[in-house]
Amino acid sequence: MHILVTGGAGYIGSHAVKLFLERGHDVWIYDNLCFGHRAAVPADRLIVGDLNEPHRIDQVLLQHRIDAVVHFAAFTYVGESVQHPAKYWQNNVVNTLNLMECLRRHKVARFVFSSTAATFGTPEQMPITEQTPQKPINPYGASKLTVERILADYSQAYQWGFAALRYFNAAGARADGSIGEDHTPETHLIPLIIQAAMGKRPHIEIFGTDYPTPDGTCVRDYIHVDDLAEAHLLTLEKLQPGQAMHYNLGNGRGYSVREVIAAVEAVTGKKVPIKEGPRRAGDPPVLVASSDKIQKELGWKPRYTDINAIVETAWNWHRAHPKGYKDK
């Protein structure tokens, strides 16, 4: 397949690109490098461009005879989306629509979309299945759900085959230590704990210790980034014209913030200084996925089911790259 990967120089995108290339696909990365990293992808596969430049996208589609798109490019900070909603509607919805219109003109009708657990808001019933009502509670989740709905319309009207993949908490790094997680600013739990373990931060602050969970801290479903990459490839290979796929991607098991800190301590052999703080606004107490549907329908099976194994890959990356990609 000739695959265009938007946001392919980002955290999840770069892991997907590596896998697609390994499996023999012709892969082109379209990334404006606002958050992506040049060093995370092969230089001869990278096209630096923005989604608000339709003429450039047109060129790329023609030149590389693209027949499928995997769309990672987006803004993903929940808190920022509450402060600056226009930024999220513009980039995550308007720019995605620009891209979709280019694809329609060029008759590219296979599309895999990075959606999120944030489209569900704060459901009461766990685990979260594909039947769970989607009621986002912030502009980030709302912007992703809007694209899911636009895709459903395109699928009906233009016979697009699409997959909306709702990631839970993406974590870990490529097992060979070549690429990993480097966000600026970093807000994600596992890299922050590792930085505290390495002495690069004074402590990890636990956001809330009074949640209705066994140890009072939030519970999340951590899924390895390479398992996410596999899910993208599987859906791409199975998509048929007019087909709409919706899948939740997690391990089906939740870990509390304290359990994740314990996992980092076990893997690194270092004590992590802790500060107990107040709740972070908008954090649901528990988010755990059921991924039975993709397991049954496509045979997807996560290889990393143990939190220590996930943390170990993240630790290998951070140990080898204490300053990340050093480009921001």
Residue 140 CB, nearest distance to ligand UFG (Å)? Answer: 6
Using only C-alpha atoms, what is the Rg of the chain? 19
**d(C-alpha 203, C-alpha 206), whole Å:** 9
Q: Which of 16, 93, 206, 263 binds ligand UFG (CB under 6 A)?
A: 206
**d(C-alpha 248, C-alpha 242), whole Å:** 20
- Exactly one of 88, 140, 167, 304 is catalytic; name it: 140
Residue 88 CB, nearest distance to ligand UFG (Å)? Answer: 11
Tokens of 326: 């050093």
Is 287 an interacting residue with respect to ligand UFG (CB under 6 A)?
yes
Q: What DSSP letter does each residue of 178-192 carry, written as one string?
A: SS----SS---HHHH
Q: Which of 192, 263, 307, 314 binds ligand UFG (CB under 6 A)?
A: 192
* Contact string (CB under 6 A) for ligand UFG, positions 224-253, x = contact: ------------------------------
**d(C-alpha 150, C-alpha 170), whole Å:** 25
Query: For residues 185 and 299, which CB has a smaller minimum distance to ligand UFG in the complex?
Result: 185
C-alpha to C-alpha distances, 85 to 28, 29, 76, 135, nearest whole angstrom: 30, 27, 12, 17
Closest CA to 217 of 158, 275, 165, 143: 275
Residue 206 CB, nearest distance to ligand UFG (Å)? Answer: 5
For the question of residue 140 being annotated catalytic, the response is yes
DSSP 64: T
Q: Which of 52, 90, 129, 207 binds ligand UFG (CB under 6 A)?
A: 207
Phi/psi for 220 (5° steps) reads -135, 160
Is 218 an interacting residue with respect to ligand UFG (CB under 6 A)?
yes
Peptide bond into 127 cis (omega under 30): yes
User: Residue with the closest Cβ to ligand UFG?
Assistant: 218
Closest CA to 41 of 49, 52, 33: 33
Q: Which of 220, 224, 232, 258 binds ligand UFG (CB under 6 A)?
A: 220
Residue 148 CB, nearest distance to ligand UFG (Å)? Answer: 14
Is 116 an interacting residue with respect to ligand UFG (CB under 6 A)?
yes
User: Among all residues, which ones are annotated catalytic?
Assistant: 140
Chain contacts with ligand UFG (rule: CB under 6 A): 76, 78, 116-118, 140, 169, 187-189, 192, 204-207, 218, 220, 257, 280, 283, 287
